[in-house]
Each structure stands twice: as C-alpha cells, then as structure tokens.
Amino acid sequence: METFTYLGADGLPVFTYCWKPAGEVKAVVQIAHGMAEHAARYERFATALNEAGFAVYANDHRGHGKSIPEGKTPGHMADQDGWNLAVQDMHLLTERIRNDYPNVLILLLGHSMGSFLAQQYLAEFSGAVQGAALSATNGPPGALGKIGQLVTRLEKLRLGAEGHSPVMAGMTFKAFNKAFKPNRTESDWLSRDEAEVDKYVADPLCGFDCSVATWIGMLDALTTIASDTNLAKMDKQMPLHLFSGTDDPVGEKTKGVKRLLDLYKSHGFTQVTHKFFDGGRHELLNETNRDEVTADFIAWANGVVG
C-alpha cells in the first residue's frame, strides 16, 4: 500500500491510499467510501482486487479519515458547497489515476454516501470513467427526503453549519439500527459479522455524527442526482452495476435500489446490472459472505475490461 496527498478543489489536502498489483495492471478501481468511515477500511477488498490484476485508489473524502483539517469537526466537508467540492475532489483523483495509467480503463465504485457522490460524478464528468458500481445505494428519495431537507435547514439555524444534529442521527443511523433489535451495539445494521462491527465501533475514525452542512449537501444531492437533467448528462451505454443486501436499511431493503433501477431503465440505460445478496446488511464488503460479494464484483469488472 502507498499513500499520497493531493490538493482538492479548494486547496484542501486530500489523503489517498493506493494499492498496486505485482504484475500488469488490467484496470484501475477508484473507490468512494461512505459516510462516517474512511478509505483504509477497504484494504482487504483492495488486496483481492490486486490479486485479480486491478490497481486501487481510494481517497478519504473531505471531513473524513486523514482529510480532516486540524481543529475541524469530523464529518464536516465545508461550511459552503462541501458536497460539490467532494465530487470535484474525486475527479481530481481520477485525473491523477489517468496520469499514472494513461492506457487502462478506470472503474468507479461508490459505497453508500460514496454511491451518491458517484451518481453526481457520473453526470458532471461523463466519460471520465468507463464503468461504475454502486454499493448500498438508493434512488429518488420521495417525501422522506423533503422532510430531511427541511429538518436539516432548521437544525442549521439552531446549531450552525458545523453543528451535530441529534435529530438527524435519530432519523438515520439510530433508526437503521432499530430494525435489528435486540441490539448488541449501535452499529449492528452494518453487518451480520460481529467482529467487523466491533472493528468499526473501535475505530476512532468511524461512527461519528456528520455536520449539519454535510447532511444538507447530501440530502439536496439525492434530489438532484435523480433528476431528468442529471440523468440526461450520464453516458447511457456505460456499464453500471448496483449491488445491495436485502436487509440494508439505506436501500430500504432493496425497494429504493429497485426505484433507481427502474429510473435507469426508463431513461434508456443499456448496460445496467444488479445483484441482491440475501440477508446482507449495509456493508457487503464486510459481511459474512464478503468473499462471494468480492468475487461478484471482480466478475463484473472483468466483464467490463473484456
């Protein structure tokens, strides 16, 4: 594993991990991690990809991991426009990858919050990557999303942009965990593998509450990325793979993922595939059947590379 830092869209140092295979690189996988976690957690997955001939790059999103400025609150992307800056950060990393590997395909994998960043990325930078996979994602938010947008704006007035909202925590992570009572931890919703859950709980760079500004950015994006305008910008012939656990609350136990699949179908996307893993919770790459999930991803990626 190698690490480096590059300057993000506004000059923020963005910390990045890179895992390279011993032999020839058949393609590169760029990973966009989820909310309240960090890129180093993908090392096991990256190692498996290396063994299959893929190089892997993964940055810590601004406000996460080692991309948190000194003295700043974890989970705070920026006072203004942090979400869009994070998307631009991802593209700057893609450009770095293209410079490192000018003649290979780049595949983008976005998990959870990273899948929403990826959906926006695929519209704003259409053609920059040659395939994308969305893990633990969701589609158009509907009425609940509008309620969240209103709540976060009220919370910003009360707490400020960098404040942490117990209301939002209750509506999201805590609500997700209630579905798995009796609860052993506050993060049981992530995986059936208790050892993996315990590692997440013990990790000081995981499980924090994100700032009100970050929540506003993501909830606003959920509406934008599902719009006709956004979908019209995307490459409808690009391979796109969605995978989710059937017990993942973020994807509404696949209902939200199916809404997104229907949206892609209705807008003429031609290479969309999906896989639902029975009983899987939110973090499929840390699930009890993670080897199966990893093998499925590698099979899809090999199919794209040809």
* Tens digit of each residue's pLDDT (9 = 90 or more) over 185-198: 999 999 999 999 99
What is the DSSP pairing of strand 272-277 with strand 240-245? parallel
CB burial string 4-14: b at 16+ within 10 A, e below: eeeebbeebeb
Calpha distance 131→64 (Å, rounded): 25
The pLDDT of residue 71: 87
According to CATH, what is the number of the domain 2-142+224-305?
3.40.50.1820
Amino acid at 82: G
> What is the pLDDT at residue 263?
96
3-class SS of residue 108: strand
| Distance from C-alpha of 284 to C-alpha of 202, rounded to nearest angstrom | 19
Q: Is 71 helix (H, G, I), strand (E, B) or coil?
A: coil
Angle at the Cα of 61 (from 137 to 255), degrees rounded to 5?
Answer: 5
**Cis omega (within 30 of 0) for bond into 102:** no
Mean predicted lDDT score pLDDT of the chain: 96
Q: What's this model's pTM, rounded to 2 decimal places? A: 0.97
State how far the Cα of 87 lies from the Cα of 61, in Å rounded to an integer.
9
What confidence score (pLDDT) does residue 194 get? 98
Q: Which pLDDT score is estimated for 148?
A: 83
pLDDT at residue number 151: 87
Low-confidence residues in the chain, pLDDT < 50: none
